[in-house]
Amino acid sequence: MKYLKNISVKNTVFKFIIKPLVYVDVEEAVSYYDKQLQGLGRRFYNVFIASLIEIETKPFVHSYIRPPVRRYKIKKFPYKIFYIIKEDSIFVIGVSHAKRSNAFVRRRLKLPL
């Protein structure tokens, strides 16, 4: 979890809340990419952080997969970020490989926000 210590997205309009399971999702992806090629995990992490910043700046632009869940496709990697906008908060509920089924999201929705 060496990369995940510094996730911090600040927004004056929305509170940005990253669910604890997201850290596990990202760490698994970082670990996988580091095993494939040294430094690739770091690149994935940097693109992930840039994705969070884009979600923060344009939260309503990204499509619904099933209301209220929105999906952001991470650039350059086959991963998606799932999030919910609720009142004054953005909840990031998961990160998954693009080939993973949407059952993943349904399971995450059963967890309390």
CATH number of the domain enclosing 25: 3.30.2310.20
Please report the pLDDT score of residue 44 as a whole number.
98
81 within domain boundaries: yes
Query: Which residues contact residue 52 at a Cβ distance below 8 angstroms, ignoring those fewer than 6 apart?
Result: 7, 9, 16, 18, 81, 92
Q: For residue 2, is it within any domain?
A: no
- N- to C-terminal Cα distance for the chain? 23
Q: What is the pLDDT of residue 104?
A: 73
Model pTM? Answer: 0.83
- Is 6 part of any domain? no
Position 89 confidence tier, pLDDT thresholds 50, 70, 90 = very high
Q: What is the span of the domain harbouring residue 48?
A: 11-109
Whether residue 17 is predicted with pLDDT greater than 60 in this model: the reply is: yes
Task: Count how many domains the chain has.
Answer: 1
In this structure, of 12-16, 32-36, 57-61, the range with the lowest mean pLDDT score is: 12-16
Is 5 inside any structural domain?
Answer: no
| 36 within a domain of the structure (yes/no) | yes
